[in-house]
A and B are shown apart, each in its own frame.
Chain A
Amino acid sequence: MNWTIILHAGIASGTVLLFATVGEVLAERAGILNLGLEGMMLIGAMSAYSMAINYGNPWLGLVAGMAAAGLLSLVHGFVSIHLRADQVVSGLSLTFLGTGLSLVFGEGLSKAGAVALLPKFTLPVLSSIPFLGDIFFTNQSVMVYVGFLLAPAAWYYINRTRPGMHMRAVGEYPAAADSMGINVYGVRYLYTCIGGMLAGLAGATISLAVSPGWFSHMTTSGQGWIAVGLTIFAQWDPLRAAAGSYAFGALRRLILDLQGPTKLLLWDNPFYYNPYWGFFLKMIPYAFTIAVLVIGSREAMRKRLGTPAALGVPYTRGQRGV
């Protein structure tokens, strides 16, 4: 096993999780829980791939993927903001809707042939840093570099700017924000949509950069759910979200590589001799997600983790409290 290769691929694969998780962080900091990430990522991946094939331009694909997922997220926005429905139910429905739509429109796309992908390049200077340069800055997709910039930018936006403060206020105590003249519904729609567009970006990054192609629902293979878990794990902080995403990206790659060699350290590799054991390895990220979701939903834990106080709670003017 080559650690440089594992980490290099892990960063690329983690970029997908990073976009989705940062998007969910933004939506949830404004109080909207969107469990439809998986559906939005699939729509994004499918639209981006389809557009890139039809027009031969991956950048156009990227825009299409973000737009499609952003539109889909507005469905969730309308249902949970204006109609005040249960956000868990609405988010789950969005996953089914997004998955269904992308499978129908994506039918036949997997045999469509070669497509222009987003460019890869090596950053001068930075790539010559020993070890780290090979992992982070050598022959990576443009989206990886976008990811490096996105996480700190999101952190700065949330913690140091006026719109970021308004977003936090809306997610913590919408009645207070409303009484100060902040448009609670408007803010929630905005970040639901931004969260959706970033999920679309994540999907497009899969199909046009990280593991190019359209493999129906296996394109995302549950990464939307991992991003939901990572949002809690990151305690709604974009920088921690980035760290978690890269760690999970590397883990996904490590799991594949673990099944290759005949020997692990000094012992026979059980995953090589028992190919079915690999399924247990592949289960790890999802088992982690379930554990995080269960722990994160406990009331006492929510306070300790710093869950946005109004997360998942519809806002109606004139009702006291959150």
Chain B
Amino acid sequence: MPEAVSAVEMRGIVKRFPGVLANDRVDFDLRQGEIHALLGENGAGKSTLMNVLAGLYRPEDGAIWVHGAPVNFRSPRDAIVHGIGMVHQHFMLVPSLTVTENILLGLHEPRFLMQLPAYHKRIAALEERFGLGVAPEAKIWQLSVGEQQRVEVLKMLYRGAEVLVMDEPTAVLAPQEVDELFATLRSMTAEGKSIVLISHKLNEVMAISDRITVLRKGRTAGPPLDTGSTSREALAELMVGRKVLFEISKDIQAPGDLVMSIENVSAENDQGLPALGGVSLQIRSGEILGLAGVAGNGQSELAEVITGLRPCTAGQVTINGKQVSNLPARVAIDANVAHIPMDRTGVGSSPNLSITDNLIMKAYRQRPISKGWSIDGRFARRHATKLKDEYEIIAPSIDTQSRLLSGGNLQRVILAREMSGKPQAIVAVQPTRGLDVGAIEGVQRLLLEQRRAGAAVLLISEELEELLSLADRIAVIYEGEILGIVEDQDQEAVGLMMAGHREIPAKEGERKSG
């Protein structure tokens, strides 16, 4: 048995899914009162390992001790009885129930009648203790994402969790909300609770954690590290298995003529509610305009209006003076607008078609791929082979169905199709989301290449770092309105606006424009 000082000790954990070995003899230990980061790329097995600890998955092999006593969890309820609670990346909250109801879900008390008012009070008291403000009577669907996360944390605290596992908690938060969350986490460790923070973001891991365990391809990349005695570079190398370049070098170049002009555009979302309220942006040739904002503030609607996939209720979008909004998507394609959509399998590609077919999906109407009525198959295949080499798409052949490709390779197929047409304007929505560090680098390089070639790029991203390193200017969208444009990479100003603050500290005032 391991020494009793650890709050949690996991030894030799093996977890298999059909065709995947998600955890291969992983060891992990968590000390009382520490914040321990579990770092790794997507698919490295971080969430799987913690789902095992939280009782959601049962491991094929390995053993777990909690405060020195061996445990065998059959369900999340077993885990919480032993003081282990997990806040999942996808919140496990019932939208139609209130905060209090969600917290009481699955408990033996109250026995039968709910008597909610009494419980509202108890939960308010708990909120006060840990600085987690959220109205107990509110229904979940009325809450912001940050508030929902607090409910998840409250749920675990109410059950007496001593160990809290947070799965990628900052992915859904604005920068200021991240600060609040970190303050809450610190107040919890001050009370003796222990926290596991799952993350793939090096900066936040360096900022908040006491120790770090790195996972790579289902295995631990060495013993836990003390955060104070390691570096971003060293961690990145452990995560990826090779050296990674952080700084993408961007040449200074003066932007050219106005290409994409978005004038006072308003649009509705899928539910018929206003999503955009009078958005105006101008993007010039050879310029990358970054659009920052927390997800769901109108970004995807804006991208769809520009590419002709969504009608706008007011205003218009022009490319080189030619209107493309409220017209068929083909008008935007003919105006040479490239679209890298967020939804790669639903919008960006057709999963059951071959790589070749996906690659010619936009150019199929033009010579030489089309021959009047028919498609020149031989030319299409030559074209596809050329792109496959050029964009380093790793696949058995060009006839492989695109659904069989990994995320990074699928994104290369989409980029190859969109970029090979020498676009005038590019709308890229979260082009690096979910990709490995290596693939991210490739996508960012391509965008900069297009900038050099004179394309006007609208880069929509939730990764502030990505925007800061790629974009010439950063506009911030909040609830369908542009709150301001930052031209000198002022991270704090962008962060404040992402959280909806229109007022920016005095020195930033003069920078606000269009």
Chain B: which residue is nearest A317 at the CB level?
B56
In the complex, are the beta carbons of A179 and B90 less than 8 A apart?
no
In the complex, are the beta carbons of A179 and B94 less than 8 A apart?
no
In the complex, are the beta carbons of A180 and B92 less than 8 A apart?
yes
Report which of A165, A175, A182, A317 forms a contact with B101, defined as CB distance below 8 A: A165
A165 in contact with B92 given A160-B114, A179-B76, A182-B106 (CB within 8 Å): no
Report which of B57, B97, B106, B110 forms a contact with A172, defined as CB distance below 8 A: B97
In the complex, are the beta carbons of B95 and A173 less than 8 A apart?
yes
In the complex, are the beta carbons of A176 and B57 less than 8 A apart?
no
In the complex, are the beta carbons of A181 and B92 less than 8 A apart?
no
Chain B: which residue is nearest A310 at the CB level?
B94
Q: Does B313 contact A (CB under 8 A)?
A: no
In the complex, are the beta carbons of B92 and A303 less than 8 A apart?
no
Taking CB atoms, residues of chain A closer than 8 Å to B107 are: 180
In the complex, are the beta carbons of A318 and B93 less than 8 A apart?
no
In the complex, are the beta carbons of A161 and B75 less than 8 A apart?
no
In the complex, are the beta carbons of B105 and A180 less than 8 A apart?
yes
In the complex, are the beta carbons of B56 and A318 less than 8 A apart?
yes
Q: Does A162 contact B (CB under 8 A)?
A: yes
Q: Does B112 contact A (CB under 8 A)?
A: yes
Chain A: which residue is nearest B81 at the CB level?
A181
Q: Most chain-B CB neighbours within 10 Å: which of A172, A173, A175, A181?
A: A181
Taking CB atoms, residues of chain A closer than 8 Å to B229 are: none
A175 in contact with B112 given A165-B101, A181-B76, A181-B77 (CB within 8 Å): no
CA distance A318 to B15 in the complex (A): 13
A 151-173 binary contact with B (CB < 8 Å = 1; else 0): 00000000011110110110011
Taking CB atoms, residues of chain B closer than 8 Å to A181 are: 75-77, 80, 106
CA distance A303 to B113 in the complex (A): 28
Taking CB atoms, residues of chain B closer than 8 Å to A172 are: 94-97
Taking CB atoms, residues of chain A closer than 8 Å to B94 are: 168-169, 172-173, 176-177
CA distance A162 to B372 in the complex (A): 68
In the complex, are the beta carbons of A169 and B105 less than 8 A apart?
yes
Taking CB atoms, residues of chain A closer than 8 Å to B114 are: 160-162, 165
In the complex, are the beta carbons of B106 and A173 less than 8 A apart?
no
Q: Which of B93-143 contact A (CB under 8 A)?
A: 93-97, 101-102, 104-107, 110-114
In the complex, are the beta carbons of B75 and A168 less than 8 A apart?
no
Q: Does B88 contact A (CB under 8 A)?
A: yes
A175 in contact with B92 given A169-B97, A180-B105 (CB within 8 Å): yes
Q: Does B513 contact A (CB under 8 A)?
A: no
Q: Does A309 contact B (CB under 8 A)?
A: yes
Q: Most chain-B CB neighbours within 10 Å: which of A162, A182, A306, A318?
A: A162
Q: Does A321 contact B (CB under 8 A)?
A: yes
Taking CB atoms, residues of chain A closer than 8 Å to B374 are: none
The interface size of chain A toward B, counting residues with CB under 8 Å, comes to: 26
CA distance A168 to B97 in the complex (A): 8
Q: Does A320 contact B (CB under 8 A)?
A: yes
Q: For residue B256, give the distance in angstroms from its CB to the closest CB of chain A.
A: 44
Taking CB atoms, residues of chain A closer than 8 Å to B56 are: 179, 317-318
Q: Which of B453-502 contact A (CB under 8 A)?
A: none
Taking CB atoms, residues of chain A closer than 8 Å to B110 are: 162
Taking CB atoms, residues of chain B closer than 8 Å to A182 are: 105-106
In the complex, are the beta carbons of B271 and A180 less than 8 A apart?
no
Taking CB atoms, residues of chain B closer than 8 Å to A166 are: 105-106
Chain B: which residue is nearest A164 at the CB level?
B114
Taking CB atoms, residues of chain B closer than 8 Å to A320 are: 90
CA distance A11 to B110 in the complex (A): 37
In the complex, are the beta carbons of B112 and A161 less than 8 A apart?
yes
Q: Which of A60-108 contact B (CB under 8 A)?
A: none
Q: For residue B150, give the distance in angstroms from its CB to the closest CB of chain A.
A: 16
Q: Which of B241-276 contact A (CB under 8 A)?
A: 271-272
Q: For residue B78, give the distance in angstroms from its CB to the closest CB of chain A.
A: 8
In the complex, are the beta carbons of A176 and B112 less than 8 A apart?
no
CA distance A179 to B306 in the complex (A): 41
CA distance A162 to B105 in the complex (A): 8
In the complex, are the beta carbons of B112 and A321 less than 8 A apart?
no
CA distance A168 to B113 in the complex (A): 15
In the complex, are the beta carbons of B92 and A173 less than 8 A apart?
yes
Taking CB atoms, residues of chain A closer than 8 Å to B104 are: 162, 165
Q: For residue B176, give the distance in angstroms from its CB to the closest CB of chain A.
A: 27
Report which of A162, A176, A309, A318 forms a contact with B92, defined as CB distance below 8 A: A176
Taking CB atoms, residues of chain A closer than 8 Å to B90 are: 320-321
Q: Which of A25-46 contact B (CB under 8 A)?
A: none
In the complex, are the beta carbons of B97 and A163 less than 8 A apart?
no
Q: For residue A172, give the distance in angstroms from its CB to the closest CB of chain B.
A: 5
CA distance A310 to B78 in the complex (A): 25
In the complex, are the beta carbons of B95 and A309 less than 8 A apart?
yes
A 279-322 binary contact with B (CB < 8 Å = 1; else 0): 00000000000000000000010010010010000000110110
CA distance A222 to B97 in the complex (A): 35
Q: For residue A159, give the distance in angstroms from its CB to the closest CB of chain B.
A: 9
Chain A: which residue is nearest B90 at the CB level?
A320
A180 in contact with B76 given A163-B112, A318-B56 (CB within 8 Å): yes
CA distance A176 to B110 in the complex (A): 19
Q: For residue B327, give the distance in angstroms from its CB to the closest CB of chain A.
A: 25
Taking CB atoms, residues of chain B closer than 8 Å to A160 are: 113-114
CA distance A306 to B97 in the complex (A): 12
In the complex, are the beta carbons of A303 and B106 less than 8 A apart?
no
CA distance A318 to B48 in the complex (A): 10
Taking CB atoms, residues of chain A closer than 8 Å to B93 are: 173, 176
Q: Which of B270-302 contact A (CB under 8 A)?
A: 271-272
Q: For residue B103, give the distance in angstroms from its CB to the closest CB of chain A.
A: 9
CA distance A160 to B93 in the complex (A): 19
CA distance A180 to B76 in the complex (A): 7
CA distance A168 to B110 in the complex (A): 16
Q: For residue A305, give the distance in angstroms from its CB to the closest CB of chain B.
A: 12
A303 in contact with B112 given A165-B97, A165-B101, A180-B92 (CB within 8 Å): no
Chain B: which residue is nearest A182 at the CB level?
B106
In the complex, are the beta carbons of A303 and B271 less than 8 A apart?
yes
CA distance A320 to B90 in the complex (A): 8
Q: For residue A194, give the distance in angstroms from its CB to the closest CB of chain B.
A: 17
Taking CB atoms, residues of chain A closer than 8 Å to B272 are: 300
Chain A: which residue is nearest B80 at the CB level?
A181
In the complex, are the beta carbons of A165 and B105 less than 8 A apart?
yes
Taking CB atoms, residues of chain A closer than 8 Å to B102 are: 176
CA distance A93 to B76 in the complex (A): 36
Q: For residue B459, give the distance in angstroms from its CB to the closest CB of chain A.
A: 28
11 contacting pairs across A/B (C-beta < 8 A): A161-B112, A162-B114, A165-B97, A165-B101, A169-B97, A173-B95, A176-B102, A179-B88, A182-B105, A303-B271, A309-B95
B residues apposed to A, CB below 8 Å:
56-57, 75-77, 80, 88, 90-97, 101-102, 104-107, 110-114, 155, 271-272
Task: Give 3 nearest A-B pairs by CB, closest first.
Answer: A181-B77, A180-B106, A176-B92
A residues apposed to B, CB below 8 Å:
160-163, 165-166, 168-169, 172-173, 175-182, 300, 303, 306, 309, 317-318, 320-321
Given A168-B94, A180-B107, A181-B77, 18 other A-B residues pairs in contact with their CB atoms under 8 A: A160-B114, A161-B112, A162-B110, A165-B101, A168-B96, A168-B97, A172-B94, A176-B91, A176-B94, A176-B102, A176-B105, A178-B76, A179-B88, A179-B92, A180-B105, A182-B105, A300-B272, A317-B56
